[in-house]
Amino acid sequence: MFNIGPGPLIFFIFGWLFALNIMGLADRVYQFASRFVPMIGTSVTLRIMGGIWIFVGGTLVTLDLLS
């Protein structure tokens, strides 16, 4: 019915998970990633990034639905 690729949906869904810190996802991802790579900021940085991903994912989903 709708021809939506998985990329925009992943951005949209993970954006909500990070921004709202559902099940402590932003905190757990930050703790896991900081063991392997140097990280700048805190888990709040991931929550801000999640807010941006909501906008980007929502825009891409809307454009996919309109095309």
- Give me the pLDDT at residue 26, please: 87
Specify the DSSP class assigned to residue 2: -
Specify the DSSP class assigned to residue 24: G
Angle between helices 25-34 and 43-66 (to 10 degrees): 110
The pTM of this model reads 0.76
pLDDT 10s digits, 9-63: 888 888 998 899 888 888 898 889 888 988 778 888 889 989 999 999 889 888 8
